[in-house]
Chains A and B, each alone.
Chain A
Amino acid sequence: MKLTLAHDHKLPTGALGLAIVPDGSRAFATCMDGTLYSVDLASGEAQPFEGKHDSYASGCVLLPDGRTVITGGYDGKLLWHDVETRKSWRQVQAHQFWNWQLALSPDGTRLATVTGQYAPGGWKYEPAPEREPSVKIFDTASGDLVASYAHTPPVLSCAFTPDSQHIAAANMMGEVRVWDVAPGGDRKPVAQFTSPDFTSWGTTKTHHFCGGIYGLAFSPDGQVLLCCGMGPMGDPMAGNGKMTWQRWNWQKGERIDQIKDGQHGAGLMESVVWHPEATHFVMAGRQAQGNWNAALFSAADGSLVHSVDTKKRITHAQFTADGKSLILSGATGQGARKQNGWEPWGRVQVFKVEA
C-alpha cells in the first residue's frame, strides 16, 4: 500500500479541521481566519461559509445527513452550518476557552468537544485544575448539552468508540480518560491511563509542560486506542521530539506497542486514522527531522509500510469510505508579507491510496 499525491489545494490561512463527504469529492476545512470552507477536491475551488468564528476555527464534522457541518472554534463556540446555503443557523457557546478538537459519534447523534486553558498550578507549572468541564457532549440534532466530564486541562483530543458508546479524551500530561456516554451514571471514567511519552517539561530552557496527546482513534473493533503526539524533549522549543504513536488496551490500561525504533523522525504528530479495511492506520503531522510526515503503518504489527513527506504541517487525515483516497488538511509556514499581501498558506491535499 502506498500514497501518491493527486491534488494540492490552497486555502487563505492554515487549515486546522477537516471533514469529507464519503466519496471524497468534497472537503470541509476550518481555518485560522475563523472560516469554514467547502473545497471541491477535484478542482480546488473553495467557497467560504457565511458564519465565522471569532478566532481560529479549530475543527468540523459532517453529519450523516450530508447537509449539516458543525464547527468548533478557539472562541469556544459551536456553529451549525447548512451545506447548501453556506449559512450558519445555530450557535452554542460550549466553552469559556478554546475548542481544541471535535469528535462525531459514528451514529452521528453526539458531538464531543474538548477544552481547557493551561494555567500554572504549582512551582513547576503543573497544570491547574479545570475551571469548567473539559469534555462536553452535545446532541447534534437539538444542540443541547447532554453530558459533561471532568479532566485536567488542557484536553487536546477526543474520539468515540465505533459503537458510539464511549468517548475518550486525552490531555497535555498524557492522561487518557474514557467514559460511557449512556445517559445517567456517575460521569466518572470507566477507564483511564497515563502515558509519560508525549509530554515535555523543558529542562533546558522552558520551565513548564507542553506537548501531550494530539490525536486519538479507536480501532475498528473498539478494543484498542491509538494515541499520537511527540516524544519528550529537554528543549521543547526545538520541536524535535520523537514522532510517536502508541496503542493501548484502554480497558486494562496496558500499552500494547508503539512506533518502532528506526521508523520515526522527529516532530509533532497531530492525527491518527484507521483505513476502512482496518488493515492499516495513518499517522500524520509535522516533520522537524527525518524523511516523512505522513506514514501508513500495518495494523498487524505496527510496522511502517509507506511514508511521504508533504513538506507541510498536517493537522487532520481522513480516508474516503472506499479507502482509495487519503485527504489531508494543514498549513505551510505563513511566510513573510509580500508586496501584494499574504500568500495562501492553508492546504488540503488528496493522496491516492494504491496497493
Chain B
Amino acid sequence: MNHDPSQLPIGQCPTNEHTMHRRLFIKGLAGGALASVTSFAGLFHNPVFAEATKKAQKRCILLWLCGGPSQFETWYPKPGRPTSGPFGTTATKIPGIHFSSLMPQCATIADKLNIVRNMKTTQPEHLQAINLIQRGNPDRAGFTRPTLGSALSQAIGSLDSPIPNFILLDPIQGGNEFEGFKAGDFAGWLGAQHSPVRLGGDYSKLLNAASDAIPQHDAESRETLRHFLTAKFERARNSAVARSENNAFERMKGLSASADLFDLNKLPAKDRERYGPGSFAQHALLSRHLVENGAPFVMVANGMNWDNHVFQHEIHQMLVPELDRVLFNLVTDLEERGMLDNTLVIAMGEFGRTPWINPARGRDHYPNAWSFMMTGCGLKRGVITGETDIDGVDVVGKAYNEQNLFVTIFSALGINPYAEYDLPGLPTFHRVENKAEPIRDLLA
C-alpha cells in the first residue's frame, strides 16, 4: 500500500520511532533478555542502547565516488593479468597486500583501513545502483526507503541542532543519473526533515548572500508572510515537495548564523594544501571540519567523475591519486584528533568497473566483483577481506551485497540494523531486510 508521508499532520514526527522502541522493548522482554543480548541481532533490541548511540556522538563521512571507481586501479590490482591496466602495484603496510601504484599514501596506512574486495550486487545501471547502495536494500513497492544519510540523520542526529544532520557537499548540480537521484526523495518515509542540506561550491555562498541582501526588519516581515503562504500551500496541495523545500529553507536559515563553518577560506591554508586543490579534496577537508563541529553525517560527492567509459586510465591517473591523498589525510587527521573511534569513514561508489577494456579505452559498469573502503567507529582496522579470481572477473567464496554493507554500517554506528517497522499505511519492513549478515571480519 502506498503511503504519502505528507498525509501526517504537520509538526508530528512521522517516523513512529517512539512506537518502534516501545515495541522492541516489549519484544525483547518477551523473547528473553538473555537471548537479546547474546545474539548479534539482539544486541540492538534495546531502546536504551539506541539512546546511548545518540549520546556517543557517532559520526559518519561518506566519500561518494559516484560513477563507479575501478577496483583494479584502487584497492585490488591484478598485476600481470590481461585485466590489470597500465598501472603497477605498491606494497602496503600489511604483508602480502598491494594497492594500485596510484595509492602510495594509503598503502602506508593500510593498517588503519579496511578493504572489502568481494562486493557483488545486482544493478549495472547508475540510477538503480545508486539507489541500491544509498538505501541498502532493493526497491520494495509501497514505500521509499531513506538513504544512508537520512537514516543516520534520524538515528544519530538531532533535529534541534544548528548543524544539519545530513550535509551533502557537492559543487555542482549536474551528474546525469546522479543528478536524477539528487532530485529524488532522499529521506523516503522518514520525511523531509531528514533530507540533506546541500552545500559546497557555489551553494555555500548562499548562506551569506541571503543575510546580507535584505535588511533585518524586512527579512522578518517576509518570513512571516512566507510561513503563512507556504503552510497554506502545503495544506491545500498536500505537497511533500513543498514540505521538503520548506524544511530545507528552515535549516538553511538556521545555518546562516553558522555560515563560517562552511567557509573553506577560513580553514587553515596548510590543511587546504595537504588535501589538494580540487573541489572534491577541499570538500573532504570541509567534511572533517563539519564532523569536528558536530555534524553527524556528511556526504562528499563530485558529480559522476568515476564513470570512465572513455579515457579510463587517463582520468583514473588523476582521480585516484587525489582520493589517495584525501583518504590519507582524512583518516590520519581523524585519528590524530581522537575522532576516528567515533567517526565512520566510507569510500565507495555504486559499483566497480569491468575487468576488460572497451574500444573507447574505458572500463564499463561492473557490479559483479568490486571493492570499497570503510574504517573507524569501532571497526577493526587493517582488515583486507574478500577475494576475486585471478582476473578479477568473479568473486571467489563469500560475496557481500548492499544489505551486508548496511548491516555493517549500522552496526558500527550502534544502530539496530534489523529494526522492524509497522507504520500506519506501510507494509511491515526492516531497516535492513532478510536478516542479512554483517561483514563480520570488520566488526571488532
Contacts and interface: CB of A to CB of B under 8 A. Distances in A.
Interface of A: 13-14, 32-33, 54-56, 74-75, 98, 117-125, 128, 154, 202-208, 210-211, 235-239, 267-268, 286, 288, 312-313, 331-337, 342
Contacts of B282: 123
B181 to A, nearest CB: 12
Contacts of A268: 310, 360-361
Contacts of A237: 67, 304, 307-310, 362
Interface in B75-93: 82, 86-88
A334 B357 CA distance: 5
A205 B359 contact: no
Of B171, B175, B309, B311, the most chain A CB neighbours within 10 A belong to B311
A160 B67 CA distance: 39
B174 interface: yes
B174 A203 contact: yes
B304 A205 contact: yes
A312 B172 CA distance: 35
Contact of B304 (A14, A206, A288, A337): A206
B170 to A, nearest CB: 10
A336 B356 contact: yes
Contact of B82 (A124, A207, A334): A334
16 contacts: A14-B357, A54-B88, A117-B321, A118-B315, A205-B175, A205-B178, A208-B315, A210-B310, A210-B311, A211-B311, A238-B309, A313-B361, A334-B82, A334-B356, A337-B355, A337-B391
Contacts of A154: 314
A33 B356 contact: no
Interface stretch (B145-153, B207-215, B273-281): B273-281
A120 B311 contact: no
Interface in B251-304: 276-279, 281-282, 302-304
Interface in B352-403: 354-362, 391, 393
A54 B86 CA distance: 8
B350 interface: no
A118 B357 contact: no
B279 A207 contact: yes
A141 B308 CA distance: 40
Nearest to A13: B82
B434 interface: no
Contact of B279 (A33, A117, A124): A124
Contacts of A119: 318, 321-322
Contact of A210 (B171, B314, B354): B314
Contacts of B303: 202, 204-207
Given A120-B276, A210-B314, A336-B393, 13 more contacts: A118-B318, A120-B277, A120-B281, A123-B279, A205-B67, A205-B305, A207-B172, A208-B315, A211-B311, A236-B311, A237-B308, A238-B310, A313-B359
Contacts of B355: 337
Given A237-B310, A337-B393, A207 B171 contact: yes
B176 A205 contact: yes
A54 B87 CA distance: 9
Contacts of B179: 205
B239 to A, nearest CB: 29
A342 B175 CA distance: 34
Contact of A33 (B82, B175, B277): B82
B317 interface: yes
A16 B393 CA distance: 24
Given A122-B277, A123-B282, A205-B178, A333 B308 contact: no
Contact of A288 (B67, B360, B393): B360
B281 A207 contact: no
Q: Which 4 A-B pairs have the closest CB atoms?
A: A239-B310, A334-B356, A120-B278, A205-B304
Contacts of B174: 203-205, 207
B67 to A, nearest CB: 7
Contacts of A288: 360
A123 B87 contact: no
A334 B358 contact: yes
